């Protein structure tokens, strides 16, 4: 894949000229990156219904296309052609902008996600910080949706969601600090290459567990889907949304699930590195896809298994359990590294 992109790049420079080709090349790379991402986002909805159906001993979607494979496309067509309803007293500008502000950061984050040492759109030295900064912008879209809807249900759902996202984003960020301490770099390629001896999940197993539970909560997934909470708040922050505007919120949620699954695979599970060297003949992109796919499956598995938390249980888990434990592990990691370096220096 990298050789193919290099060949296309060399051909384009001669055809367009250096300056114009630089712009065209960036657009091509963005399209090649986002097309598979949007495909996965579309079809993870089908996978979710199939997995939950299998766990509940029912077939799931099986009418549209072969074994229901065209169901996501049918859903997309339905949402596109449904009427978008704008509440009379809503703030129209913010109401329309909110779904975009939820989806766009989830797509922008992919700019620094590496699929191999060469296959990355922007291999920057602060990739981890970029991801944390961009992913935090999604909270603004949710709060804007609740505020602009002029609905108490939507506003309460937005308040719940933002409080939940902020709470668990703190824990998620702290779980990445021991990885940065061990690696000595904020570059995601360096983080993966540092795991050639052993994956980070081995010395940092509690951090991996906290990371995964935190991202489940941050993406508002069951059993932490309290911002939606249908029995209490109708549909939470997007109660007043319909048609494709509601679809953009759902796309943003699933795009975040795919993103945090790939990030977890890169940071804790060795990324594109095989579990044993004897399996190195399998392309690294396949290993990365399998690891991220397993984490996405666990997202769906959890939804089919656990009941919803109460809100006080949710906040207690984030602030009184995960936060102190992650802070302790940061201290422990720093202490072990300092002692190890001291012994080597002696």
161 and 274 part of one domain: yes
Report how many domains make up the chain: 2
| Mean pLDDT to the nearest integer, 206-210 | 93
Do 115 and 41 share a structural domain? no
Structure tokens of 258?
Answer: 């795919």
Instruction: Tell me, letter by letter, the H, E, C secondary structure of the chain.
Output: CHHHHHHHHHHHHHHHCHHHHHHHHHHHHHHHHHHHHHHHHHHHHHHHHHHHHHHCCCCCCCCCCHHHCCHHHHHHHHHHHCCCCCCCCCCHHHHHHHHHHHHHHHHHHHHHCCCCCCCCCCCCCCHHHHHHHHHCCHHHHHHHHHHHCCCHHHHHHHHHHHHHHHHHHHHHHHHHHHHHHHHCCCCHHHHHHHHHCCCCCCCCHHHHHHHHHHHHHHCCCCCCCCCCCHHHHCCHHHCCCCHHHHHHHHHHHHHHHHHHHHHHHHHHCCCCCCCCHHHCCCCHHHHHHHHHHHHHHHHHHHHHHCCCCCHHHHHHHHHHHHHHHHHHHHHHHHHHHHHHHHHHHC
Final residue of a domain: which of 80, 99, 118? 80
Same domain, 158 and 56: no
pLDDT for 297? 93
Asked whether the predicted pLDDT for residue 296 surpasses 90, the reply is yes
What are the structure tokens assigned to 206, written together? 């509690």
Mean pLDDT score of the chain: 84
pLDDT > 90? residue 211: yes
Same domain, 210 and 90: yes
Residue 79: the pLDDT is 86
Q: How confident is the model at residue 191 (pLDDT cuts 50, 70, 90)?
A: very high
Note the pLDDT of residue 18.
Answer: 61
pLDDT score of 17? 54
CA 183 to centroid of chain Cα atoms:
22
Residues 150 and 74 in one domain: no
Regarding whether 182 and 52 lie in a shared domain, the answer is no
| Mean pLDDT across 117-146 | 85
118 and 186 share one domain: yes
Query: What's the Rg (C-alpha) of the chain?
Result: 22
Lowest-pLDDT range, 5-14, 93-102, 191-200? 5-14
Cβ contacts of 1-9, under 8 Å, gap ≥ 24:
1/116, 1/119, 1/285, 2/116, 2/118, 2/119, 5/29, 5/32, 5/119
Q: Summarize the confidence of residues 2-13 as an average pLDDT.
A: 56
Query: Average of pLDDT values for 82-108?
Result: 86
Query: 185 with 290, same domain?
Result: yes
**Residues 215 and 264 sit within 8 Å (Cβ to Cβ):** yes
For residues 172 and 138, the answer to whether their CB atoms sit within 8 Å is no
Per-residue pLDDT tens digits for 219-273? 888 888 776 655 555 667 777 888 888 888 888 888 889 999 999 999 999 889 9
298-327, pLDDT tens digit by residue?
A: 999 998 888 888 888 888 888 899 999 999
Residues 93, 22, single domain; the answer is: no
- Expressed as residue numbers, the domain containing 243 is 82-345
Q: pLDDT, tens digit, for every residue of 36-92?
A: 888 888 889 899 999 989 888 888 888 888 888 898 889 888 888 888 888 888 888
* Residues 18, 89 within the same domain: no
- Tell me the pLDDT tens digit for each residue of 14-45: 555 565 656 776 777 778 888 888 888 888 98
Distance from C-alpha of 292 to C-alpha of 271, rounded to nearest angstrom: 9
Q: With 0-12 CB in 10 A as exposed, 13-18 as middle and 19+ as buried, what is 14?
A: exposed
Same domain, 157 and 67: no
CB 145 within 8 A of CB 98: yes
Token digits for 148? 């602009």
Predicted pLDDT at 331: 92
Q: What is the pLDDT of residue 342?
A: 61
Model confidence at 11: pLDDT above 80:
no
Residues 181 and 276 in one domain: yes
Residue found by looking up tokens 């790379």 in the block: 29
**Mean pLDDT value of segment 157-166:** 82
What is the per-residue pLDDT for 15?
54
Which among 80, 105, 130 is the end of a domain? Answer: 80
pLDDT of 132 reads: 87
Determine the pLDDT at residue 136: 82
pLDDT tops 70 at residue 345 = no
Last residue within a domain, chosen from 80, 107, 135:
80
Statement: residue 346 has pLDDT above 60: no
Output the pLDDT for position 20. 65
């Amino acid at each position: 894949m990298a050789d193919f992109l290099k060949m296309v790049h060399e051909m384009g420079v001669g055809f367009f000229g250096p300056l114009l080709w630089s712009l065209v090349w960036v657009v091509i790379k963005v399209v090649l990156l986002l097309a598979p991402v949007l495909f996965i986002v579309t079809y993870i909805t089908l996978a979710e219904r199939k997995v939950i159906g299998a766990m509940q001993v029912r077939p799931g979607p099986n009418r549209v296309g072969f074994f229901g494979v065209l169901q996501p496309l049918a859903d997309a067509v339905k949402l596109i052609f449904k009427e978008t309803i704008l509440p009379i007293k809503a703030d129209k500008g913010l109401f329309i902008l909110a779904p975009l502000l939820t989806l766009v950061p989830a797509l922008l984050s992919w700019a620094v996600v590496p699929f191999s040492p060469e296959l990355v759109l922007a291999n920057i030295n602060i990739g981890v910080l970029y991801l944390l900064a961009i992913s935090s912008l999604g909270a603004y879209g949710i709060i804007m949706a609740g505020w602009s809807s002029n609905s108490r249900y939507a506003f309460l759902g937005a308040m719940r969601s933002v409080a939940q996202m902020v709470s668990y984003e703190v824990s998620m960020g702290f779980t990445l600090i021991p990885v940065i301490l061990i690696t000595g770099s904020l570059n995601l390629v360096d983080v993966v290459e540092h795991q050639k001896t052993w994956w980070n999940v081995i010395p940092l197993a509690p951090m991996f567990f906290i990371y995964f539970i935190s991202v489940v909560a941050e993406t508002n997934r069951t059993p932490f889907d309290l911002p939606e909470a249908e029995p209490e708040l109708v549909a939470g922050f997007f109660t007043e949304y319909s048609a494709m505007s509601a679809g953009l919120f759902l796309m943003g949620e699933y795009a975040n699930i795919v993103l945090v699954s790939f990030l977890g695979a890169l940071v804790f599970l060795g990324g594109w590195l095989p579990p044993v060297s004897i399996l190195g003949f399998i392309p690294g992109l396949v290993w990365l896809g399998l690891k991220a796919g397993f984490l996405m499956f666990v997202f769906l598995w959890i939804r089919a298994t656990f009941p919803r938390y109460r809100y006080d249980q949710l906040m207690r888990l984030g602030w009184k359990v995960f936060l102190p434990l992650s802070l302790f592990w940061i201290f422990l990691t720093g202490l072990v590294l300092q002692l190890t370096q001291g012994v080597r220096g002696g």
